[in-house]
Amino acid sequence: MPAMFASRNSVTWDERLKTGFFVTCLVDLMRPSVGFAAVDLLEDAGCDVSVPERQTCCGQPAFNSGDVASTLPIARQVIEAFADYDYVVVPSGSCAGMIRTHYPELFENDFTWRRRALDLAERTYELTTFLADLAGWRADAPGGSGKVTYHDSCSGLRELGVREQPRRLLAQLENVELVELPDSNVCCGFGGTFCVKYPDISTRMVDDKVDCVADTGAPVLLGGDLGCLLNIAGRMRRKGVKTRVYHVAEWLAGHHDRPGIGDPADDDR
Amino acid sequence: MTVAQSSKAFKVRSRRALLDNDLREALGRARGGFVEQRRAAFEALPEFEALRDAANEIREHTLSHLDYYLERYAANVEINGGTVHWASTAEDMNRIVVDICRRAGAKLVTKGKSMVSEETDLHHALKAAGIERMETDLGEYIIQLADEPPSHIIAPAVHKTRAQITELFHANHARFGIEGRAEDRTAIVAEARRVLREAFLSADVGITGANFLIAETGSNIIVTNEGNGDLTSCLPKVHIVTAGIEKVIPTLEDLSVFLRLLGRSATGQEMSAYSTLYSGPARPGDSDGPAEYHVVLLDNGRSTMLGNEFHEMLRCIRCGACLNHCPVYSHIGGHAYGWVYSGPMGSVLTPLFKGLEESYDLPNACTLNGRCQEVCPMRIPLPSLLRRLRQRQVEAKITPARQRLALSMWSRLAARPRVYRFVTNLSMRSMAWLGRRRGALRYLPAGRGWTRGRDMPAPEGATFMTRWRRRGEQDT
Amino acid sequence: MSRERILAEIRRSLKRREALDENVRRGIEARNADIHPHVQPAYDEDLVERLVRKHRDLHGSVEPIDTALHIVNAVIAYLRDNDLPQRLVAADRAPVKDLPWGDGVTCEHRPARGDDAVALSVADAAIAETGTIVVVSSPDSPMTHNYLPEHHIVVVPVSVVVRWQEDVWRILRKRPDFPPRGIAMISGPSKTADVEQTIEYGAHGPRNVHLLLLGDGQARGA
């Protein structure tokens, strides 16, 4: 897909496209740096970024638990909050997938809301897809350096086809070498409430993932979904594995010197 | 249903499975093989997606005229000289089969692998009638000796190691005059061949499943690698085919589409060694073949499924690809699921056959990662079906009250952005303070499920939304 | 009756009261009368070469012979090479019907028994697509030959080699006995992977399927 609008590296825009940023609950609560990194990247790419006040969560925890009644008000809230943007960008494949794939399903029998849901779905993009396919983001700083490996989160991969986009973006960072993760398309065992309800199975799954990361020899793991990254980093910390874990946005935005997910805030690691 | 077989004990059984090193070894080997072989087979087939499209179109067409095709199929079976029996329930099917066996004076029946007979628990019905049954698929035979249900729909004994099989044979084959232990694979297979050959030749009735029923010709097709299904079909004087009503397809050309998908999806094979169409009993002049050919068509809830939100499941061709690619299945194996169908397809079917409450865990013990749907040749939206089952559980208030309460509190909070902002900011700042040294929390009072196996990375402090607002205030 | 109950429930689920109306029924009949293959894997390999390659990939063996007169020698050599007794069961049809076996070999035309080591069949078709041999049951061609003996020798006249599976259906539909009682599609020897997910040949049926490719001795070589 060609770049639909130019980044600041090339052209300045009189009228920049209005981009609404949906920060997602996990980034909002657990790792705001991912949100700021994403906003930096979007602004780099020439977007006029806003963060609507009325956003909270996309409703996925309730939806995936089969609680449609609780999901509906949250979905309506998101649809309304992002009604006026040209694009809506989400730093998570699973939340973007929720909006793009499942919101329209939710309102199957409600013509008005279904139309609004479809309208939002069409404008909503997962962050790396937006940067790579639409915004034509170019790295303007070398960013981090060294070997990294990448975990493909399942929802992004299978609901949205996110695979090449983060790799294309990382390829622009001159000093970064991407080592492919064996079984990178196999679930890490997060699965939202799954990991809390079936901790024993989930732990086994994440152990496989941690082993695969170790096999790559890369000291850094990147990914596009904070849920999976919290799960993997949490298991690594428990096992004393020293791999540093970041959201891909942080590396692209040059925030790679900060402590990784689950690392101590000061420099005593 | 015994306790050992119920799906309720899922958590207990899955935990036990995780601790079973033999099982882990067996599953690890199976996973690698099946996944790699399937991938290679489809990489060599550019027509894969077109075949999937065609197969789905055929199945949907047939299902939406299922009454027509079943009547058509049944009429053609009768023309071929066979008899069709209709079974509404599992009990009906078992009664019909036992009656046919009794009329034939059967003492010994040989059985090909048939998931439908597992579903109806035909084994116990035969046993109760005093009829001896020999499973003839090697995997099925092994689990018959072990008195276990299949742990995989394609490879029923996938969970058994070689050493376990050696001991099972040793413990059971003395009655055939076999004394020593068959240690290596070749010896094990040779011993099974010797023992089962006797059964093939002396059985009074052969019972097989059917991969498909072809309406055009009134045939059933049975696909195997061992040839056991064929020996079961050809040798005894009575052949009984048991099949679910969704197995019917219109024509032989339609069959070819499915055959190109089935073996590749199951084991990565273009064609299994034996794909045989059977159309009725021996004909005048034939020097072999059964004198009687019966088909038992089983409904057992399928006709109801046809009209509800789970109808896509009727497209399933029982290839096992979803099991082979399921990260949960590949860690816990089939027995944890508690019934004959396991993995993703079993997690949909079991609650529908056995009840939502009985099988509470099955639809929930899934990360919705979607790999099953990706590999399903019939593109069955398994994650969506599992989510629909969760929805039914919530509606029926089967979902634990604590979980429903937690979710509804979260949802209510999420629907009130201002309160949400205040509460989350405060909690994150406290958590960040608690985890500031280590960068992660070892224990969360409200998240023991999480911290049982991993730390909770500490949040950074104030939430993004709080910081963003602050930044906005500074800018202006 | 179960039959009526099942059909009624199906119609209820399909939101239909009765059996199909005439127009729909005609539509279905038209669909099924319009016989054509759906999707077939494209390939441009020579049919016989592909058949041989695929059959060998499936762990079978192939021997080209020029004429039916060579069947006897080929079979005797096979028995000798595999240390097999000089006896076999064979189909009662051309070209294996009245062969001059000579004194040393016993060939019987009857169904196979448990102790028969070798069966000799004639393929009705062979599918180059997958290396699959098709043997159709008839009074002259018992089904047991395909599955009981440890060695299955199949005469495959090159004239019966077809490109795709659907070509077999087309040919069989023209036969007066259609549908025949049994259509055996055989793709290599009997095998199992039920022990350690590792393939072992000769599970219950033949350990080897040996093709005598008839009428093609020179052209393609062995």
> Between chains, do B328 and A201 touch, taking CB under 8 Å as contact?
yes
By Cβ distance, the residue of B47, B85, B228 closest to C41 is: B47
Q: Any CB–CB contact under 8 A between C45 and chain B?
A: no
Q: In the prediction, which pLDDT does A266 show?
A: 60
CA nearest B460 in A: which residue? Answer: A31
Q: How far is CA B145 from CA B134, B138, B165, B166, B328, in A?
A: 10, 11, 9, 11, 27
Q: Any CB–CB contact under 8 A between A198 and chain B?
A: yes
Q: In the prediction, which pLDDT does A268 show?
A: 43
Cis previous bond, A199, omega within 30: no
What is the distance in angstroms between the Cα of B271 and the nearest Cα belonging to chain C?
A: 7
Q: Which residues contact C34 (CB under 8 A, 6 or more apart)?
A: none
Q: Any CB–CB contact under 8 A between B216 and chain C?
A: yes
Other CB atoms within a 10 A radius of the CB of residue A8 amount to 16
Q: Measured between beta carbons, which residues in chain A are less than 8 angstroms from residue B332?
A: 201
pLDDT tens for B355-379 read: 999 999 999 999 999 999 999 999 9
What is the distance in angstroms between the Cα of B472 and the nearest Cα belonging to chain C?
A: 58
| H-run or E-run covering B440 | strand B440-441
Q: Any CB–CB contact under 8 A between A154 and chain B?
A: yes
Two structure tokens written together for A129: 């897809």
CA nearest B374 in A: which residue? Answer: A158
> Between chains, do B273 and C191 touch, taking CB under 8 Å as contact?
yes
CA nearest B225 in C: which residue? Answer: C191
Q: In the prediction, which pLDDT does C219 show?
A: 43
Q: Which residues pair with B9 in a beta bridge?
A: none
- Is C106 strand, coil or helix? strand
pLDDT tens for B280-330 read: 999 999 999 999 999 999 999 999 999 999 999 999 999 999 999 999 999
Residue-wise DSSP of B319-337: --HHHHT-TTHHHH-SGGG
Q: Which residues of chain C have pLDDT under 50?
A: 217-222
Whole-angstrom distance, CA of residue C171 vs CA of residue C134: 12
Q: In the prediction, which pLDDT does B6 show?
A: 58
Q: Any CB–CB contact under 8 A between A71 and chain B?
A: yes
Q: Report CA torsion sign: B254, B258, B260, B263.
A: negative
- Is A183 strand, coil or helix? coil
Q: Whole-angstrom distance between the N-terminal and C-terminal Cα of chain B?
A: 70
Runs of H (alpha helix) within chain A: 25-30, 32-44, 60-64, 68-81, 93-97, 103-106, 111-123, 127-129, 154-160, 164-171, 194-197, 199-216, 226-239, 248-252
Q: Any CB–CB contact under 8 A between A92 and chain B?
A: no
Q: Measured between beta carbons, which residues in chain B are less than 8 angstroms from residue A187?
A: 327, 367, 369, 371
Suggest the residue from A27, A39, A65 to mutate for an interface test with chain B (most B CBs closer than 10 A): A65
The position carrying tokens 């099925």 is B140
Whole-angstrom distance, CA of residue B13 vs CA of residue B365: 13
Whole-angstrom distance, CA of residue B241 vs CA of residue B207: 6
Sheet with C106-108, strands from edge to edge, namely C61-65, C208-214, C151-157, C118-122, C87-90, C106-108
What is the distance in angstroms between the Cα of B239 and the nearest Cα belonging to chain A?
A: 43
Q: Measured between beta carbons, which residues in chain B are less than 8 angstroms from residue A51?
A: 465, 468
By Cβ distance, the residue of C38, C42, C110 closest to B257 is: C38
Q: Measured between beta carbons, which residues in chain B are less than 8 angstroms from residue C193?
A: 33, 155, 225, 267
CA nearest C150 in B: which residue? Answer: B193
Q: Any CB–CB contact under 8 A between C37 and chain B?
A: yes
Q: Any CB–CB contact under 8 A between B271 and chain C?
A: yes
Q: In the prediction, which pLDDT does C216 show?
A: 57
The position carrying tokens 């073996």 is B263
Contact call for residues B258 and B212 (beta carbons, < 8 A): yes
Q: Measured between beta carbons, which residues in chain B are less than 8 angstroms from residue C203?
A: 138, 189, 192-193, 225-228
Whole-angstrom distance, CA of residue A224 vs CA of residue A96: 11
Q: How far is CA C77 from CA C74, C89, C98, C153, in A?
A: 5, 16, 19, 12
Q: Which residues of chain B have pLDDT under 50?
A: 1-4
User: Which domains occur in chain B, in start order?
Assistant: 45-303 (3.40.50.10420), 413-475 (no CATH)
pLDDT values of chain A reduced to their tens digit, one per residue, 269 residues: 344 454 444 444 446 789 999 999 999 999 999 999 999 999 999 999 999 999 999 999 999 999 999 999 999 999 999 999 999 999 999 999 999 999 999 999 999 999 999 999 999 999 999 999 999 898 887 777 899 999 999 999 999 999 999 999 999 998 999 999 999 999 999 999 999 999 999 999 999 999 999 999 999 999 999 999 999 999 999 999 999 999 999 999 998 889 999 998 764 43
What is the distance in angstroms between the Cα of B352 and the nearest Cα belonging to chain A?
A: 16
Q: Measured between beta carbons, which residues in chain B are less than 8 angstroms from residue A28?
A: 424, 463-465
Domain C45-220, CATH = 3.40.50.10420
The position carrying tokens 């052969």 is B206
What is the distance in angstroms between the Cα of A113 and the nearest Cα belonging to chain B?
A: 17
Predicted-complex ipTM score: 0.95
> Between chains, do A32 and B464 touch, taking CB under 8 Å as contact?
yes
Sequence ranges of chain C with CATH classification 3.40.50.10420? 45-220
Q: Measured between beta carbons, which residues in chain B are less than 8 angstroms from residue A192?
A: 367-368
Q: In the prediction, which pLDDT does B31 show?
A: 78
CA nearest A198 in B: which residue? Answer: B365
> Which subunits sit against C, judged by 3+ Cβ pairs under 8 A?
B
Instruction: For chain B, positions 325-354, list CB contacts with chain C under 8 A.
Output: none
> Between chains, do B256 and C37 touch, taking CB under 8 Å as contact?
yes
By Cβ distance, the residue of C177, C195, C206 closest to B188 is: C195
User: Which domains occur in chain A, in start order?
Assistant: 18-133 (no CATH), 141-252 (3.40.50.1860)
> Between chains, do B428 and A29 touch, taking CB under 8 Å as contact?
yes
By Cβ distance, the residue of A64, A191, A199 closest to B452 is: A199
